[in-house]
Chain A
Amino acid sequence: DAKTTQPNSMESNEEEPVHLPCNHSTISGTDYIHWYRQLPSQGPEYVIHGLTSNVNNRMASLAIAEDRKSSTLILHRATLRDAAVYYCILRDSGTYKYIFGTGTRLKVLA
């Protein structure tokens, strides 16, 4: 199973953009990159996913490197409600399994 590497924690000021990096150097050509976030004592919440091209939705943007060995989740204006653990996950194209890494704990400062 391909693995992801993320910083353990990051801080951001409220109303400022946040760039959360993820390395996935062993990604295969058909693995999708998914991002979820998890608040304490809750299940993960879907944020965004992509394969090769950059993606945007109402929650965030996903920038994928040309070689697909890394990606960046971009929160355009962090709010206090964005404080969570963010997981970058590679979805196995055959089994559809998610293998969670350690995630990045994002702290948003008021």
Chain B
Amino acid sequence: GAVVSQHPSWVICKSGTSVKIECRSLDFQATTMFWYRQFPKQSLMLMATSNEGSKATYEQGVEKDKFLINHASLTLSTLTVTSAHPEDSSFYICSAREGRERTDTQYFGPGTRLTVL
């Protein structure tokens, strides 16, 4: 099956710093990538939809200036958490969709655990 990677797998940073998380589709070209966050014992919450070469579409309540998303190529999307605060500590997961067929599915990365001190 299709493989999606994320880097780093975990990161610890100080409050006020920015953190970049990469999401790569390794064996297919992803026309669309999605970013989710997941708090402990909770379900995944969609943050934004990212199409290659265009601006990301953010879900209601997600601050676009705080969570910067770039989808510069068909295999790479990045999420930058700017001026991170402890409440941004979470498990961030990306997914990618190839987009060649209406029936195709999303493939998820392994996730990045962010801890803000």
By the criterion CB–CB under 8 Å, are A98 and B34 in contact?
Answer: yes
Chain A positions within 8 Å of B, measured between CB atoms, are 32, 34, 36, 41-46, 49, 51, 87, 91, 93, 95-103
| B14-22, B64-72, B76-84, B107-115 - interface stretch | B107-115
B46, A98: Cβ atoms closer than 8 Å: yes
Known A42-B110, A100-B44; contact A34-B105, beta-carbon cutoff 8 A: yes
Q: How far is the CA of A51 from the CA of B36 in the complex (A)?
A: 24
Please tell me if the beta carbons of B110 and A98 are within 8 angstroms of each other in the complex: no
* Contact yes or no, B34 A46, CB < 8 A: no
**Residue interface mask B33-53, A partner, CB < 8 A = 1:** 010100000011110010000
**Count, chain B residues at interface, CB 8 A:** 26
Residue-wise, chain B 83-117 has the 8 Å CB interface mask toward A (1 for contact) of 00000000101010101001101111111010000
Residues in chain B near residue A45, CB distance under 8 A: 108
Whether B25 is near chain A, meaning CB under 8 Å from some CB there, is no
A32 touches B103 (CB 8 A): yes
* B contact residues vs A (CB 8 Å cutoff): 1, 4, 6, 32, 34, 36, 43-46, 49, 91, 93, 95, 97, 99, 102-103, 105-111, 113
- Bound-state CA distance A97–B57 (Å) is 11
Question: In the bound complex, do residue A95 and residue B49 qualify as a contact, i.e. CB atoms below 8 Å apart?
Answer: yes
Instruction: Return A82 CB to nearest CB of chain B, in Å.
Output: 18
* Closest partner residue, chain A, to B104 (CB atom): A96
Bound form: Cα–Cα A41–B110 in Å: 8
For A46, give its contact among B93, B102, B105, B110 (CB under 8 Å): B105
Which of A32, A44, A93, A96 contacts B44, CB < 8 Å? A44
Residues of A within 8 A of B109 (CB): 43
Q: How far is the CB of B9 from chain A (nearest CB, A)?
A: 9
Q: A19 to chain B: closest CB distance in Å?
A: 21
Using CB atoms, name the residue of chain A closest to B10. Answer: A41
